[in-house]
Amino acid sequence: MFYSYQDFIDEPNVVTGITNAISHHKNSADYKIALSADKYDKMQNELIMNYVRTILSMSGNALEDFTVSNNKLCSNFFHRLNTQRCMYLLGNGVSFTDHVEDRVGADGVVTKIDTTKQKLGKDFDTKLKECAYNALIHKVAYGFWNYDHLHVFKYTEFVPLEDEETGILRAGIRFWQLDASKPMIAVLYEEDGYTRYRADNGSSLFREDRPKKGYKQNYKGTEVDGIEVVGEENYGRLPIVPLWGSRLHQSTLVGMKEKIDSFDLIRSGFANDLSDCAQVYWIVNNANGMSEFELERFRDRLKTLHIAKADTTNSSVVPYTQEIPYAARKEYLDEIRSGLYEDFGGLDVHTVAAGATNDHIDAAYQPLDEEADDFEYQVIQFVEQILSLIGVEDTPIFKRNRISNQTEQTNMVLSAADYLDDETVLKKLPWITVDEVAKILAKKDEEQEERFVNEQSGDDSGDGVQNRSGEQQRVSDSE
């Protein structure tokens, strides 16, 4: 059941609303998927970790078979593919173009400064990557703009309270608990400020722990005389912005989980068969005189002690081995692996041959580009909403982190350099990041200015020599 902002404000009191909101959130299907995504992200794949090899008893009941191997091999597809999509787009950080200023340093060197990125703080790139990755695996993550820096709230620790009519995020509750025996803390974020609540050990009811505060605090005083709050301000709207992992608004685990589980089961089963040395079975001839219990005990001794006593006067025991179907399993594993990359839209580097041209590399990147384009729209909207909170209008740009035939691409850029300006040429070169462009241009300007000064100084010296030379010539003529 969806719990909205209207449901929250209709509660008899705030404490009850916080308790019910967190309870609804934890019982939702998306929350449970997010918890599963965290496990797969840590290579603790649920199905294979909980898998138990069983054997049927004489009565037909399934019992855990302790006599066979039970290797549990967890694949890393989930973390690998999500990291690839996130870092492909944000590996080089975010840059802006509309607010670049030239600033002269103490040494007189002119440096180009991206004032927009400066206002977002030094760790904005790191926080943006963290938020984007959580958005991919959880379906959504939330960025809280705290005056001059960004905080990231994961879906597993934040309850969104959206308006039923507009769908806009009107409030939210961040909650955390270090351990079941520790108190639970909840912070209610509203448009006019935030309030902290606390539920003590063993209690399910929250109480106000700290009174409501505005998002901007105005301080007055000194450390010696004391500092006091003299005023509070807010943003006019909730300073928490959602970042969606895709336009589908769902976790990337949806659709991948079954393929990952299938891959893990087959690979683990193959490892178990190898550990058991072979699939061995026995045929006992002329054993009609043995009871079912005696046959079962005979089998158990063979499996556990690898030796058993049998009356071979009128009977015999013949072992048979069944070869492990290696080729079929490997073929199926390769098919699942390629299917995972294809369905997710990832780049399988094994499909790119050494020395491939940029045309072949671009073709291999096409699925990843398409998925990254969809994700980029979500990131752009998120960054623009953060910028609106600090009163800045700018457009974020990204330089995607991709492999390429750098020699071929460099030659192509340099062949067109005569028709392009220096900044464009530097941005097109594959081995130069966006953040390095401004520094390189500043150094080039410095070198050009120094060269100009040296040339001017050389010309003045030449004129002096020529004048002196002419003067000596005139003196010689008079003599």
Number of helices (H), then strands (E), belonging to the chain: the values are 14, 18
Res 61 pLDDT > 90: no
Q: How many residues are there in the chain?
A: 479
Rounded CA-CA distance 310/47 in Å is 41
What are the tens digits of pLDDT across the range 380-428? Answer: 999 999 999 999 999 899 988 776 656 767 888 888 888 888 888 888 8
Confidence category of residue 288, pLDDT binned at 50, 70, 90: low
Q: What is the mean pLDDT of the chain?
A: 83
Res 459 pLDDT > 60: no
Res 457 pLDDT > 80: no
Are the CB atoms for 407 and 387 separated by under 8 Å? no
What average pLDDT does this structure show over 90-115?
A: 78
Q: Write down the pLDDT at residue 354.
A: 65
Q: Write down the pLDDT at residue 217.
A: 75
Instruction: Output the six-digit token pair for 220.
Output: 């007055």
Res 469 pLDDT > 50: no
Rounded CA-CA distance 184/14 in Å is 16
Res 166 pLDDT > 50: yes
What average pLDDT does this structure show over 300-327?
A: 68
Instruction: Output the six-digit token pair for 183.
Output: 């108190």
User: What type of residue sits at position 87?
Assistant: M
Rounded CA-CA distance 201/184 in Å is 8
What average pLDDT does this structure show over 207-228?
A: 78
C-alpha neighbours within 13 Å on the C-beta side of residue 34:
24
Res 474 pLDDT > 70: no
Quick one: which H or E segment has residue 158? Answer: strand 158-162
**203: nearest Cα among 9, 12, 14, 19:** 19
Higher pLDDT, 323 or 461: 323
Are the CB atoms for 186 and 199 separated by under 8 Å? yes
Res 269 pLDDT > 70: yes
**Residue 353, φ and ψ in degrees, nearest 5:** -75, 150
Q: Write down the pLDDT at residue 296.
A: 79
Q: Write down the pLDDT at residue 471.
A: 41
Confidence category of residue 467, pLDDT binned at 50, 70, 90: very low
Q: Write down the pLDDT at residue 223.
A: 64
Q: What is the pTM of this model?
A: 0.76
C-alpha neighbours within 13 Å on the C-beta side of residue 441:
19
Res 67 pLDDT > 70: no
Instruction: Output the six-digit token pair for 310.
Output: 């049998």
Under DSSP, the state recorded for 474 is: H
**Residue 248, φ and ψ in degrees, nearest 5:** -75, -15
**22: nearest Cα among 132, 222, 145, 184:** 184
What average pLDDT does this structure show over 165-190?
A: 94
Q: Write down the pLDDT at residue 416.
A: 86
Higher pLDDT, 34 or 2: 34
What average pLDDT does this structure show over 334-341?
A: 93
User: Quick check: helix, strand or coil at residue 356?
Assistant: coil
Q: Write down the pLDDT at residue 289.
A: 65
Q: Write down the pLDDT at residue 224.
A: 64
